[in-house]
Amino acid sequence: MEHLAVIMDGNGRWAEKRHLPRLMGHRAGAEALDRCLHFCKAAGIRYLTVYAFSTENWKRSAEEVGGLMKLLSTYIHTKEKELIANGIRFRVIGRRTDLSEKLRGEIAALEEKTKDGAFTLVVALSYGGRDEIVRAAAKWARDAAADGAPLTEAEFARFLDTADIPDPDLIIRTSGEQRTSNFLLWQSAYAEYYFTETLWPDFDQAAFDKALAAYAGRERRMGGRLK
Ligand code: IPE
Ligand code: IPE
Ligand code: MG
């Protein structure tokens, strides 16, 4: 497997179960992400994409949204050295214009500093699959439509935020929900899905191994016929 994607869900429920503020769940979720990064590297995976904040998550309380944005900014500052030392390239996909100018600057700086990493961590932030497709269509219309070249799937994909990133092989969603919630709509065309009841902050090596074992048992036919 080259690319694992994760819908990191269940932080709020994890906190509520412990009578803690939701933000504590998000903090524990950031620790789970660190663990997962290491599991992926050890398993020989080269890309990890995580759904951190959707275009719909802006509907949450100002307190939660503000806390999540602050957590992200803290993550960027505290992890910089570790990411560089471990050869991890940091990338963000999503509608950046929604983010504060300060956060956008921090993201761009970290992307630049980590650009030589052999492992790629893609963080989907203010990300929505529909939004990404619409932005790609607008970019194509602006920059390429006049060329007159036929619009193919491969050509269109060049305008997505994920232009140079392979499609995910496996998408894990934690916390028992079984829906995409607008994650990687284009890129997931032939991804395998794996759902687990485990809440994201509890996601550990055993949960990771179980997901990978399930994936290993899948037969990916990509529309072809059985041998
Ligand atoms: C996922 O956890 C993280 C984000 C959406 C930011 P949730 O906050 O959705 O946790 P639950 O679903 O309420 O438990
Ligand atoms: C999806 O989780 C988004 C992220 C994990 C960042 P949500 O908790 O926002 O999704 P719904 O509302 O349950 O579909
Ligand atoms: Mg949720």
Q: Candidates 1.10.390.10, 3.40.50.10490, 3.90.230.10, 3.40.1180.10; correct CATH number of 3-128+168-216?
A: 3.40.1180.10
Cβ pair 3, 45 in contact under 8 A: yes
Residue 227: its pLDDT value, please? 65
Which residues lie closer than 8 Å to 210 by C-beta, 6 or more apart? 196
All structural domains of the chain with their residue ranges: 3-128+168-216
Q: What number does the ligand 2 atom closest to the CA of 57 have?
A: 9
pLDDT at 182: 98
For the question of residue 202 being annotated catalytic, the response is: no
pLDDT band at 213 (very low <50, low <70, confident <90, very high): very high
Written as one string, the DSSP assignment of 11-22 is HHHHHHHTT--H
Closest CA to 132 of 105, 170, 93, 104: 93
Nearest CA to ligand 2 atom 8: 9
Q: Cα–Cα distance between 171 and 226 in angstroms, integer?
A: 23
> Which atom of ligand 1 approaches the CA of 26 most closely?
3
Tokens of 189: 């065309």
Phi-psi region of 125 (alpha: psi -120 to 50; beta: other; left: phi over 0): beta
pLDDT tens-place string over residues 56-108: 999 999 999 999 999 999 999 999 999 999 999 999 999 999 999 999 999 99
pLDDT digits (tens, 9 = 90+) for 105-140: 999 999 999 999 999 999 999 999 999 999 999 999
Beta strands in the chain (DSSP E): 3-7, 47-54, 88-93, 119-127, 170-173, 192-195
Regarding the beta carbon of 73 and ligand 1, being less than 6 Å apart is answered no
**What pLDDT is stored for residue 198 in this prediction?**
98
Q: Which residues contact 197 (CB under 8 A, 6 or more apart)?
A: 175, 176
Average pLDDT over residues 171-185: 98
The residue-averaged pLDDT of 37-56 equals: 98
Residue 9 has pLDDT above 90, yes or no: yes
DSSP three-state, residue 124: strand
pLDDT more than 90, % of the chain: 97
- Pull the structure tokens for residue 139: 């970019």
Q: Is the pLDDT of residue 226 over 80?
A: no
Mean pLDDT for the chain overall:
97
Is 7 touching ligand 2 by the criterion CB < 6 Å?
yes
